[in-house]
Amino acid sequence: MWSNFFVQQEEEGRMGVAGGGQGGGMAGMKGFRGQRRTNKMSDSQEGKIKLVFFVAIIGVTLTVLGMGTEFWVELAQPKNYSGNQTCQMAHYGLWKGCMRTLWVADIDPERTSCGPAELPGESNCTYFKFFTSGENAVIFKKTTSRNLNLAAAILALLSLTMMVMGSICIAMSLNKGVPFFLKPASFCFILSGVLVLLSVLIFHQSVLALLSSDHSVPLHHELSWSVACVGSAGAILIIAGVLFIILALPFSPWQKCFPHKDSTT
């Protein structure tokens, strides 16, 4: 009889311990879920992230537009250099260059050089060979700097890679509803903007190296609208990255700098 009593008491004690452990586990799970809910972003924060992401997408679009076009720089001879009714000019970008033959009658009389490239005329475009065979291009007896052109193109491609990574981070942040991925996204966008601006600077140095390679043919050079697109894109991407950092902060910088004063005080 006593043995049956002790066995029954032992089983009841085990059931009580199991029930207490299960209750504690449920409480812990509820606390963990409550903590996860507190880490969720609010609707207003999600709207701000979408707005800043739209700004970053504008920068990405301008970068792709500028990189895919060959109007980074225009090189123009004097419009009366050849002494006939036509003149020649060239424009190129990161990947290919074009030679254009324009009619002098179509050029503005106040303009001394041939151009602009938007005027109607014959055009001959070719891709640069220093990406494949390593050969430099010759434009108006002037030789391009292969190393500088390659550096500008590589930096532009790296910037595109960072833009894609930043966009993936923002998409994951909006999908999961957590601001955890905002910091790596801001790093990617800021770095991509810096790389884009560096690409423009190195490209400009390559243009100067091209002009200094030979002085037998006088040329007028000016950076064209593709560079304006890429430069604007770099500034926009940096601003978007900084805004993502501000949105990732656990507090509002505006409230920290300008704390709300109670009307009773």
For residue 45, what is the enclosing H or E element? helix 43-68
Q: Is 174 within a domain? A: yes
Question: Tokens for 201?
Answer: 């600077």
Is residue 4 situated within a structural domain?
A: no
Q: What is the CATH number of the domain that holds 170?
A: 1.20.140.150
Domain that holds residue 161: 44-250
73-76: strand order across its sheet? 121-127, 96-103, 86-92, 73-76, 220-223
pLDDT of the chain, 265 residues: tens digit per residue: 445 544 455 555 454 444 444 444 444 444 444 444 446 777 788 888 999 999 999 999 999 999 999 999 999 988 888 778 888 999 999 999 999 999 988 888 888 888 888 888 888 999 998 888 888 888 988 988 889 999 999 999 999 999 999 999 999 988 888 778 889 999 999 999 999 999 999 999 999 999 998 888 888 999 999 999 999 999 999 999 999 999 887 655 555 555 555 444 4
Neighbours of 94 (CB within 10 A): 25
Q: Taking each helix axis as running N to C, give the angle between helix 225-248 and helix 182-212, from 0 to 180 degrees, rounded to the nearest 10.
A: 160
Name the nearest CA neighbour of 182 among 41, 32, 34.
41
In the chain, how many domains are there?
1
In a domain, 130, yes or no: yes
DSSP secondary structure string, 226-247?
HHHHHHHHHHHHHHHHHHHHHH
Helix (H, G, I), strand (E, B) or coil at 209: helix
**E strand or H helix at 139:** strand 138-139
Q: Report if residue 246 sits inside a domain.
A: yes
C-alpha closest to that of 117 among 66, 86, 81, 73: 73
